[in-house]
Amino acid sequence: MTDGSADITFHYPPELFNLLVDILPLLNRSKTDVLVFFRGAGVSDSMTSDIAARLKAAPKDVNKYQMARTVLERLNAKGESALRERREVLRRVVDFANFDSCWPDDQLKAKGLVASIREVVNQKDAFTRMNNAREEERQARLAETQRITAEKRERTARIENAKQDLYALFGSTATAQQRGKMLEAAINNLFQAYDVLVRKAFHLVGEAGEGIVEQIDGVIELGGTLYFVEMKWYRDPVGKPEISEHLVRLMSRAEVRGIFISASDYTEPAIHTVREFLQHKVLILSTLQEIVYLLNQQDDLAEFFTKKIQAAQIHKNPYFRPHDVQGGGGS
């Protein structure tokens, strides 16, 4: 008998109860054997002592069916406190195998009743297992929902913290160079919050001992492709010379694209240079104003950059602005 049958041993349902009343007298040759069966199942003497006394005083007035029904009714009435005894009674019946101990005329009927009880138990076990499986699925779905909710809550908190760091730059009294470094940190924290960051700012040292030869502001991954991110905090629009430095960095690496983020706008020569560069590699232009607008709209950062990348690839427009209400976005 499997553990699932514990559901029906908590309280014998009518069908099972009647089958047990019918089978116990057949499995036990004598009235005394019935009492011994119950005691062997752990049923206390307090439940059977009055029956034993009547059996001793007037054995002809007591039959095995009455004895079985009375004890089983008492076990049912005890509820949870008699769970162990009910379970053991049922286990002994289900596991009964040697019908030679029965009266010869009772053996065939006993086998049939035990088979019926096993079928009831198995059906209940199957039902219980099905319910258990459904409950496990429900719990798994609930756990997954809670996990996703917690991740979203944590992600939202990280985005909010990064957003506040970014907003703080506009009221900062730091120098342009200091704000440039602060911009790198804030944007990289934002990338990290959106789960696209591969590496924050780092520098490369020359092999011939010439010191730092290259500064990388950040690296992100979108659609399985790496993008070197350049960030600038200039008062005036970014011109062709600043853009060209980033183009050289991209050309020196295979399978790497670029994103340029500026606190100011871009000059027309800078935009034209990038547009011409698109025949070699993808480089998109963005402004801090766009990022702030995106955060205020609670839009997705990866989707925002993907739209700009597609505009660069399809329309050769490196300065497409998805949030531009005019729809043009860039030159």
- Mean pLDDT, consecutive 10-residue segments, the chain of 331 residues? 46 87 95 95 94 93 94 90 90 92 94 92 69 78 92 88 85 77 86 81 54 67 90 90 88 89 94 95 94 89 94 95 59 46
What pLDDT shows up at residue 9? 47
Look at residues 234, 310, 297 and name the one whose alpha carbon lies nearest to residue 265: 234
The C-alpha atoms of residue 279 and residue 205 are separated, in whole angstroms, by 30
DSSP-derived pairing of the beta strands 202-205 and 212-216 = antiparallel
285: buried, middle or exposed (CB in 10 Å: 19+, 13-18, 0-12)?
Answer: buried
Contacts of 56 (CB under 8 A, 6+ apart): none
Predicted TM-score of the model (pTM): 0.55
What pLDDT shows up at residue 203? 53
Centre a 10 Å sphere on the Cβ of residue 32 and count the other Cβ atoms it contains: 15
Domains of the chain in start order, with CATH, are 3-132 (no CATH), 175-315 (3.40.1350.10)
What pLDDT shows up at residue 69? 95
CA torsion through residues 294, 298, 301, 307, sign: negative
What pLDDT shows up at residue 85? 92
What pLDDT shows up at residue 11? 72
What pLDDT shows up at residue 276? 94
What pLDDT shows up at residue 325? 40
What pLDDT shows up at residue 124? 75
Phi, psi of 148 (to 5 degrees): -65, -40
150-189 b/e with 16+ CB inside 10 Å = b?
eeeeeeeebbeebbebbeebeeeeeeeeebbebbbbbbbb
What pLDDT shows up at residue 46? 93
